[in-house]
Amino acid sequence: MRPLPVIKICGLREPSNIKEVLSLDPQYIGFVFYPSSSRFVGELDIEYIKGLKDVKKTAVFVNASLEEIVTVVNKYQFDAIQLHGHESVAFCKDVKESTGLEIIKAFGIDSEFDFNQLEPYLLVADYFLFDTKTSIYGGSGRVFNWDVLKRYPFDKRYFLSGGIDLDNFQDAYTFEDERLYAIDLNSRFESSPGIKNILLLKQALKK
């Protein structure tokens, strides 16, 4: 029997909402440092974020500079980094070497996606994240056809993201692939961008 997936709740911003989310015991929480995103964090409470324990605090970047990434992760003492843009293998390697943190490399998936292009990333990413391919780098609330993951040829474990909601959460959680490491919950569990609906999250996690 495969290990059950862990839970990542992404796109957080407000301390009171973060506190409620943490009461649900997710293994990862994510903070978006992409200014064009409706979930862009702006200025977080530094001491509050630094003080969060027993959860992997993940900083999400889209085509950011190495300097920006290093500055942010040091400032808030993040535990993991999600690279959600068109970051090259060499850039991922630089981020890994500069920070020493867990690297999650995201890819937008559609029916034509060529999984072979991931091979060079195997040595520089701790996990992959598969999201629905859009022009806005995630947070679209749209689901891709998970059947395409049958073509994924590598052993590297991955996060499943993209349009997961109350209706399809159980299907995602029980998806038959031993490489599935985590379920990423975001826009479909919100009251407004950056504010998670705790009731919806509780309903899903009860399942």
| Per-residue model confidence (pLDDT) at position 136 | 62
Alpha carbon 79 to its chain centroid, in Å, reads: 13
Choose between 187 and 22: higher pLDDT: 22
Most confident of 90-99, 129-138, 183-192: 90-99
18-27 CB contacts, 8 Å cutoff, 24+ apart: 18/48, 18/52, 20/196, 20/198, 21/196, 21/198, 21/201, 22/52, 22/55, 24/198, 24/201, 24/202, 24/205, 26/55, 27/55, 27/56, 27/182
| Per-residue model confidence (pLDDT) at position 134 | 76
Confidence of residue 76 (pLDDT cuts 50, 70, 90): very high
| Per-residue model confidence (pLDDT) at position 1 | 64
| Per-residue model confidence (pLDDT) at position 15 | 93
Question: Tens of pLDDT along 88-131?
Answer: 999 999 999 999 999 999 999 999 999 999 999 999 999 999 99
Which domains does the chain carry? Answer: 6-206 (3.20.20.70)
Q: How far is CA 6 from CA 27, 46, 73, in A?
A: 6, 26, 22
